[in-house]
Amino acid sequence: MMTKKTIILAISSFMLFSSCKENTSKQTTDQQPSEQNSSSEILKLDSIELKDNTQLFANVKLDYSSNLLLFPELKDKKVLDSIYFKYEGLKNFSKEELQKAMEKEKNDYYAGLKKQNMEDKGMPESLWMTDSNMKIKSNKNGFLHIEYVMETNMGGPYSNEVFQDKVFDLNNDKKVELSDITSLSKNDIDKLLKQKATKITFKNEGSEKPLILSEELSDTNSNLTFNNFYFDEKNLYFHYSPGEIAIHALGNIIIPVTWEELNGKLKPDFQTRMKIK
């Protein structure tokens, strides 16, 4: 069985990845936006895919994969630093430099797993997996939404997933902050999300039961996090990974806030640009 330290390392290493014994690297160019975003604005893309499998321990094999999107037309360093936030200190964002960063990420990840599991003697025979990727979810009105996902399984009955969303304002070369969207305070957003969460239901054995926030989040002194958000013409969405605000079995949770609910609290420039009435 994996230790608690192993779980923490796997989750917190979201973005610590890339090759070892059977290392392969594939590249594709000029990808188009995903099918669901066929109406998106055209953005030239490239990508690097890195796959590896290794005998991590005597009885444990690890399948490793990582996918990285490249943006040849983006030149602003602040934006690129934020897009590739897991690779600190990069002086340029060429394909070659990012490939080197991916290699180091993977080697550091392997070393971390081995260090954390030195005490795990006689581990059962199992196959572990780690998959890290980034996807364009939308690219409209000059706003680029990228979703980062890391999935790990250390021989357990289910995988752990960590989601991270970032939206970039390509017209102004910056990452979008909540303060760019609404003047509503974070305390007020926190109260609004907790109220809305009690109305979210999940099917359970044929019946619907409301989402129950974890105890520490139900406490009025504990605030929700607002790191992962994105938006479209209808709503502002807050995205939480499995186990972050409710039991893991419920999966990732997305809480929508309608623009009507933020009426009078939207920033005028943002409202105009998104054509929100």
pLDDT in tens, 180-230: 999 999 889 988 998 888 777 766 555 566 667 776 666 656 677 888 999
Q: Is the pLDDT of residue 33 over 50?
A: no
10 Å CB burial of residue 39 (0-12, 13-18, 19+) is: exposed
C-alpha 40/C-alpha 273 separation (Å) is 15
User: β-strand 60-70 against 126-140: which pairing, if any?
Assistant: parallel
Question: What are the distances in angstroms from CA 24 to CA 49, 62, 73, 114, 241?
Answer: 8, 15, 26, 22, 30
Q: pTM of the full predicted structure? A: 0.82
Question: What are the distances in angstroms from CA 254 to CA 66, 119, 225, 250, 251?
Answer: 25, 38, 13, 11, 10
pLDDT on residue 3 = 45
pLDDT on residue 1 = 42
Identify any residues that bridge with 133 across adjacent strands, giving them in sequence order.
149
pLDDT on residue 168 = 98
Average pLDDT value over all residues in the chain: 83
pLDDT band at 147 (very low <50, low <70, confident <90, very high): very high
